[in-house]
Amino acid sequence: MPAPADLGLELIRVPDGADLTLDLRMESVSEGVLVSGTASAPTAGECGRCLRPISDSVVVPIQELYAYEHSTTDETTDEDEVGRLQGDLVDLEPALRDAVVLALPVTPLCRDDCPGLCPSVGCTGTSCRLATATSRSTPVGGPDSIAPERGVGTVAVPKRKMSRSNTRSRRAQWKATAVATVACPQCRSPKLPHAACTVCGTYNGRQVLEV
């Protein structure tokens, strides 16, 4: 049977109208018809790293109960919980869509070790020797670098960054500062603030030292 439209995710899906193979078994139970089996279909999309087109297939199990009209299951459950028989027919599309979408990978890959796009020139990893060498020798975001091809530049990365407090604590910032002095109100000689004058021996207008 042909696959319904929009069966899949953003990066990978079952193509519209593709051959969908169903291997199902239908059993009559007390509350309805139990449908169980498998569904298989081809998939197509693009790699989540290098954006190359990829194709594969998916096989998913299906098991769904379709309740009889006026049965206990029909009267005690919502329509989105258990399917319903429509006369002598069952609607397999909701169960099929849920099973296929849950089985597809969110980030499909063309291969497990796909290096992705080259960060320098944007080409695919298989055709760019720089991206392939980077993926094999250096982890993504690692501090090491490789020799680029001619015409491809590199960006310098600082080994480590010093904080502002460490920068201000360097020995080059150690400087001697002049001692603040004030003029003595008696003899006008320089003296330390809030201290007795060492020349005349006065403090706050009183003689406190013998000089």
Q: Where are the domains of the chain?
A: 7-103, 115-154, 177-211
Mean pLDDT of the chain: 79
- What pLDDT score was predicted for residue 172? 65
Contact 17, 6 (CB under 8 A): no
User: How would residue 112 be classed by pLDDT, with cut points 50, 70 and 90?
Assistant: confident
Model pLDDT, residue 69: 83
Q: Which value, in Å, is the radius of gyration of the alpha carbons in the chain?
A: 40
Least confident range from 75-84, 177-186, 190-199: namely 75-84
pLDDT at 82: 82
The number of residues making up the chain comes to: 211
Strand 182-183 relative to strand 206-207: parallel, antiparallel, unpaired? unpaired
pLDDT reading at 23 higher than 90: yes
Q: Tell me what pLDDT residue 210 has.
A: 83
**pLDDT at residue 109 above 80?**
yes
* % of the chain surpassing 90 pLDDT: 21
C-alpha span between 112 and 47 (Å, rounded): 11
pLDDT in tens, 65-96: 888 888 888 788 887 778 888 888 888 888 88
The mean per-residue pLDDT over the stretch 1-23 comes to 91
Q: What is the mean pLDDT of residues 118-144?
A: 52
* pLDDT given at position 167: 67
Q: Please state which of the ranges 41-55, 148-162, 178-192 shows the lowest mean pLDDT.
A: 148-162
Q: Specify the pTM.
A: 0.52
Neighbour count for residue 40 (Cβ, 10 Å): 14
pLDDT of residue 151: 47
Flag whether pLDDT at 153 surpasses 90.
no
- Res 86: pLDDT: 80
- Full 3-state SS string of 57-126: EEEEEEEEEEECCCCHHHHHCCCCCCEECECCECCCHHHHHHHHHHHCCCCCCCCCCCCCECCCCCCECC
Where does the pLDDT of residue 124 fall: very low under 50, low under 70, confident under 90, or very high at 90 and above? low
Which pLDDT tens digit goes with each residue over 32-53? Answer: 889 999 999 999 999 988 889 9
